[in-house]
Amino acid sequence: MPRYKILTWGCQMNEEDSEQMSLYLQERGYEPAETVEEADVVLLNTCSVRRKPEDKVFSTLGSLRKLKQRKPNLVIGVCGCMAQLRAEEIRQKAPHVDMIIGTAHVAQVGALVDEVVQKRRLAMRLELPERKGAIVTDIPERKVDRHPKLKAFVPIQYGCDKFCTFCIVPITRGRERSRPTADILDEIRKLAARGTKEVTLLGQTVNSYGKNLLEGRVPFARLLRLINDIEGIERIRYTSPYPRDFRDDLINAIAELPKVMEHVHLPLQSGDDEILKAMRRLYTVEQFEEIVAKLRERVPGIAITTDIIVGFPGETDAQFENTLKVVERIRFDGAYMFAYSPRPGTPAAAMENQIPRAVKQERLQRLIELQNRITCEINQSQVGRVFEVLVEGPSQKDPTKLAGFTRENKMMHFVGSPDLIGRIVKVRADEAHLWGFYGTVVEASPKCA
């Protein structure tokens, strides 16, 4: 049996694309390989959001060149955002690459591997779907893994229409397209029948879901209500919502629907209105804080996490201080924090007032220290609270313990018997850390619940 290995960089959407490619290859008789050296097909599913993962892809391609000298029939493919964006450069710098597959061609991976094996020439698919008029119909076909999975990602929307000035995603993934509601519900029903208890709905601006559908507009809050009714699904998560589209109907859905988890990852990006404007984020700090206040009022105990970029072009010390002040005021449960990384082809990369690397790093360090202190304080204040945890399996930190996430998406480690895996248990937080809690089981759901 030929074997494949997929190396993945980037976001959950890429992880999900890699899983789909894996299913398409298995359908054609390929088996997963443990290592790159054992594989007949190696796919690099790439990310262009920052420069570092792009550099890593080129260095990996360098190592694969040596492997291919020893195994001339090895098929090497580059997929994902970097393939979409830098196909010509990949061809020139890495002529040993056999396939370059753009973000909209995941479902064709098996056919393209066959094409390379048979014809031994470069196979490329890079076209992004055109949005003709308001309606998009060319949404990729998706496979549902026949193996049971406790948690599953479900893409509900592809591409993005927001065009933030720092972001390459609208170029690499194309314009916003929502998946038909019936397809999403069908996939989730199949997942539930195979044992999935938690789904995470994926989209670049997930709460803008529902425009451009043949069946007419279906707001994201309505989609949540439909999924909430699916038997067997116990937890619903989604990432990432866009602040301007976070309307009251969504806040009501989060407050009212028992299966929608009490966690929102809401990207702030900057705590300064001028910088938000330069980023082309379509909200102000005040509007963002209003959403947070409503969420906290309607959903007590909700965890709110965020993304923040420091050192955006032109960011002054005072504007950076504004971000620190907002972080102090809002007190996020956690944050992904980054120094701005210019992405060629985006408006921000062409701005003249780029911030020196050392300044960006120093700001990032200060922000991380502040946020880590806040996360620790929040977690410490929750010691003694009893959380509901979906038990996922042995802890990677300490295999003598089990691990899972609370409804608020906090990691919990605790002692328990393996028959708790796959069940929802109540766990008291005993000891707080930056990463989450050590706790003690106080109650478990019946085994076949």
Query: Residues in the site for ligand SF4, rule: CB under 6 A?
Result: 160, 162-164, 167, 169-170, 204-205, 242
Q: C-alpha distances in angstroms, 280 versus 94, 161, 165, 166, 283?
A: 35, 12, 6, 9, 9
The candidate with the shortest Cα–Cα distance to 19, out of 265, 187, 206, is 187
d(CA 157, CA 211): 10
Shortest CB 313 distance to ligand SF4, Å = 15
Q: C-alpha distances in angstroms, 163 versus 42, 172, 394, 423?
A: 32, 11, 41, 41
Shortest CB 281 distance to ligand SF4, Å = 7
Shortest CB 234 distance to ligand SF4, Å = 29
Beta strands in 272-325 (DSSP E): 303-310
Instruction: Output DSSP code: residue 356.
Output: P
d(CA 355, CA 18): 35
Phi, psi of 267 (to 5 degrees): -70, 120
Shortest CB 163 distance to ligand SF4, Å = 6
Shortest CB 205 distance to ligand SF4, Å = 5
Measured from the Cβ of residue 111, the count of other Cβ atoms closer than 10 Å reads: 13
For strands 41-46 and 75-80, give the pairing. Answer: parallel
Shortest CB 276 distance to ligand SF4, Å = 11
Shortest CB 375 distance to ligand SF4, Å = 23
Residue type, 412: M
Shortest CB 446 distance to ligand SF4, Å = 42
Nearer Cβ to ligand SF4, position 267 or 439?
267
Shortest CB 85 distance to ligand SF4, Å = 14
Nearer Cβ to ligand SF4, position 220 or 414?
220
d(CA 163, CA 327): 25
Give me the residues paired with residue 3 across strands.
Answer: 31
The candidate with the shortest Cα–Cα distance to 305, out of 371, 349, 353, 399, is 371
Shortest CB 173 distance to ligand SF4, Å = 8
Give me the residues paired with residue 304 across strands.
Answer: 264
d(CA 413, CA 135): 46
The SS3 of residue 191 is helix
192 contacts 233 by C-beta, under 8 angstroms: yes
Shortest CB 12 distance to ligand SF4, Å = 13
142 contacts 123 by C-beta, under 8 angstroms: no
Phi, psi of 130 (to 5 degrees): -80, 145
d(CA 15, CA 113): 20
Nearer Cβ to ligand SF4, position 203 or 436?
203
Q: How far is CA 412 from the centre of its chain?
A: 21
d(CA 154, CA 150): 13
Q: How far is CA 111 from the centre of its chain?
A: 27
